[in-house]
Amino acid sequence: MNVEELLAKLVSFPVLGGESNLSILNWIKDYLKNYGIQSNLVPNNENNKASLHCRIGPPVDGGVILSGHMDVVPVDGQDWKTKPFILTDKGDGKLYGRGACDMKGFLACCLAAIPEIINTDLKKPLYFAFSYDEEIGCLAAPELARAIKKYYKETPKYAIIGEPSMMKPIIGQKGIYIMDTYVHGSAGHSSRIKQEVSAIHEAMRLIFWLESKMDLLINQGITDKRFHPPHTTIHIGQINGGIAPNVIADKAHFCWDIRTIPKDNIDKIVSEFDEYCRKREKVLREKYSKFRIENIENHPVVPHLDTKVDEDVVNLIKAISGNNQWDTVSYAAEAGQFANEGFQSAICGPGSIAQAHRADEFITKSQLKKGVKMIHNLVKKMSNTNFN
């Protein structure tokens, strides 16, 4: 199967983040088995999902992990002009389908390279690491990265995460955390606003605290020019509460996210906010004893990626991708999680993130070709005794 046929096959499995991925997993496992490659699975507790990893080449230190996720985002409510789970070639140089770009394109490039990889005398091993549930919070990658470290006696050196980056090496990624805040106040006639505790008024104060916190960090000069924007952001994207203008709201809820540059610390910001909430509770309980503020995690922390420009992985990716310009991103990806396990990590893959997660997602044929070329260049480099 060529890369386009492989991509069509992968797109045909409508495995969404959060759902069982056994269908696509088993197909990939069988595909690898046909080439004599044994896969190792890292299942979840319920045994209805699993990540996969395998090694091709000698069991020596210094290998390269190629990583990607098998799940995709939903298509509900999106206005698709093609059938999202049938890869469609409209003759405009683009291949349309859910996951074509994010990120089954890269998986197809990896699988298409197998015949070449097994016929090459690799001096260092190449690993595949394919995860599930990336799209709902990069949930499986930490365990997958740990499993790789534990399973193999040798230690891989690099991890290349093939998220769509237009084949640019991505060396930095902001850390991400999402929280829900629930405020429980007391209801009453609006004329009694000084006697009751409005959940909306208090939510507003908390939101203002969060916005001020962001501004404070910026004003303190905690910035990082590699990122756009070059500072940590705190944003409230959802708010609800109240039933009428003349009724004091006893409930309010807002949902917010933090995206941190490596210099800032998610846990520190969250615990300072929590401290402020406890302080407000103390004050307002004098007026209404049952007043409380609940902070509930909506999305686990996805750690930042902070690969330095002079790390070997950056030069490696520059060499194999033919792209000299590095960049950073503010979206969640698994690169920081692989870096946390000690692998030099960076993102680089075919397709543009601008096409991800939307209707009529596509990858251009030329990007797909560049992805194949990158892996070909990597394999060639790894057949050289000087590869390190």
Which residues would be at the binding site for Zn ion (CB under 5 A)? 102-103, 163
C-beta of 71 vs 360, nearer to Zn ion: 71
- Tell which phi-psi region holds residue 88, choosing left (phi > 0), alpha (psi between -120 and 50) or beta: beta
CA atoms of 118 and 62, how far apart (whole Å): 18
Give the position of tokens 């990939």: 28
Cα–Cα distance for residue pair 317/99, rounded to 1 Å: 23
Q: What's the min distance (Å) between Cβ of 302 and Zn ion?
A: 12
CB of 69 to Zn ion, least distance (A): 6
Helix, strand, or coil (residue 69): strand
Q: Where are the alpha helices (DSSP H) in 69-128?
A: 104-112, 114-118
Q: Cα–Cα distance between 199 and 36 in angstroms, integer?
A: 62
In the complex, minimum distance from the CB of residue 290 to Zn ion, in angstroms, rounded to a whole number = 43
Q: How far is the CB of 58 from Zn ion (least distance, A)?
A: 30
Question: From the centroid of its chain, how far is CA 275?
Answer: 29
To Zn ion, the closest distance from the beta carbon of 63 in angstroms equals 23
CB nearer Zn ion, residue 70 or residue 382: 70
How many CB atoms are located within 10 Å of the residue 213 CB?
A: 17
CA atoms of 73 and 163, how far apart (whole Å): 14
The residue annotated as part of the active site, out of 102, 133, 134, 196, is: 134
- Return the residue nearest Zn ion (CB atom): 102
Query: Catalytic site residue 71?
Result: yes
Query: Of the two residues 103 and 217, which places its CB atom closer to Zn ion in the complex?
Result: 103
∠ Cα 104 7 360 (to 5°): 70
The half-sphere exposure of 330 on its side-chain side, counting CA atoms within 13 A, is 17
Say if CB 338 and CB 159 are below 8 A apart.
yes
211 is catalytic: no
**Of 134 and 202, CB closest to Zn ion:** 134
Residue with smaller CB distance to Zn ion, 186 or 328:
328
Residues serving a catalytic function are 71, 134
